[in-house]
Amino acid sequence: MRKGQNPAKFVNKVVKPANVTVAVLTYIPYLSGFYAEALDVLKVCLDSVRSEQETEFDLMVFDNGSCEEAQEFLLKEFRANSIQYLLLSEKNLGKGGAWNIILNSVPGEFIAYADSDVLFHENWLSESMKIMQTFPNVGMVTARPFFTKKEYITNTLQWAQDTADASVERGKLIPWEVFSAFNLSLGQDMSAIEAEYNAAEIERITYQGVSAIAGGSHWQFLTRKDVISHFLPFDMDRPMGQVKQLDQRMNAAGYLRLMTATPLADNMSNTLTVNTAEAAAGEAARNKQRKYTFFDIPFVKNFLLAIHHRIFLLYYDRS
């Protein structure tokens, strides 16, 4: 038999969620090797999200089966009201599986998604919203310009060509230091980056006084919940490597894929080290001076890395 009345019955109002939900996905299985700085990177990422001063948002974090230290940090942040929504997964569901939960469950009309290694700049969200709310039929806005393969933006370029009020500029419209910093963060070789930059033609579209670079990416984007819902669920059979499905499918559906004209987000990857051409040159010089050992012999290195990969799957691949 019930005793008394539920006090919740006498609550006259509830707090409504913000119109924008910033959703961060993280996976830190352990704090050594590749992931040695991952928790520090996550902390910097979450702090940088809050550099947005003009647009109100709620912060959601989805933890995809991280180690105890990472989850304890997130719980502490949640209890301190620094995170409004926290989802903890027992195991790694892969990015597609995590997206299915995140993109279905966010309460906001707009979703600003980010991997946990993104470093945001001041008012990154409000500048992204300006593009989202000015251009028609926008699928995603990424807060950093970089070179996007043309097959992922065919409909964006076609719309700009067919729209009288839209103007298009083409050329080296991303400064070298901005272009190279992003590619270095992906682990690319400097010579390959230089070759890509020399060959790249980048489009800047201006519409109703607002400029954006044609392109976008799955690693960070602003979208509308009613748009992204058209692409759910994601059925990916590997934890990584298939996320470009979103880029491909959004372009095929005719949505615009755009980026801010100036860099408002950086990719930290797995380290807090700044990615610059000068830093890469210094690292290359140090590697040349380093004495090579038995473990640097190619077949030895490949064999040991293969063993490391198998051990990782044994302990952390629960699929």
Q: Per-residue pLDDT for the chain (319 aa), expressed as one digit of tens each?
A: 667 666 666 566 778 999 999 999 999 999 998 899 999 999 999 999 999 999 999 999 999 999 999 999 999 999 999 999 999 999 999 888 999 999 999 999 999 999 999 999 999 999 999 999 999 999 999 999 999 999 999 999 999 999 999 999 999 999 999 999 999 988 888 999 999 999 999 999 999 999 999 999 999 999 999 999 998 888 766 554 567 788 889 999 999 999 999 999 999 988 887 554 444 444 444 445 556 676 666 666 667 666 765 666 566 665 4
Q: What is the pLDDT of residues 205-264, one digit of tens each?
A: 999 999 999 999 999 999 999 999 998 888 766 554 567 788 889 999 999 999 999 999
Domain ranges of the chain: 20-267, 277-312
What pLDDT does residue 261 have?
96
What pLDDT does residue 281 have?
45
In whole angstroms, what is the distance from residue 187 CA to residue 274 CA? 13
The two three-digit tokens of residue 98, written as one number: 């995590």
What pLDDT does residue 310 have?
65
In whole angstroms, what is the distance from residue 91 CA to residue 180 CA? 35
Tell me which CATH code domain 20-267 carries: 3.90.550.10
Please name which of 155, 167, 171, 169 lies closest in space to residue 207, comparing C-alpha atoms.
Answer: 167
95 in Cβ contact with 244 (< 8 Å): no
In whole angstroms, what is the distance from residue 108 CA to residue 229 CA? 13
3-state class (DSSP) for residue 50? coil
What pLDDT does residue 160 have?
97
DSSP H stretches of helix in the chain: 38-49, 68-79, 94-105, 124-134, 154-162, 176-185, 190-199, 225-228, 244-252, 277-289, 298-316
20 in Cβ contact with 58 (< 8 Å): yes
In whole angstroms, what is the distance from residue 243 CA to residue 251 CA? 14
What pLDDT does residue 311 have?
67
Spell out the residues 6+ positions from residue 3 whose beta carbon is closer than 8 angstroms to its own: none
What pLDDT does residue 305 have?
61
Q: What is the pLDDT of residues 288-313, one digit of tens each?
A: 555 667 666 666 666 766 676 566 65
In whole angstroms, what is the distance from residue 308 CA to residue 203 CA? 42
Spell out the residues 6+ positions from residue 257 whose beta carbon is closer than 8 angstroms to its own: 139, 140, 142, 148, 152, 153, 156, 214, 215, 216, 247, 250, 251
3-state class (DSSP) for residue 193? helix
In whole angstroms, what is the distance from residue 105 CA to residue 314 CA? 31
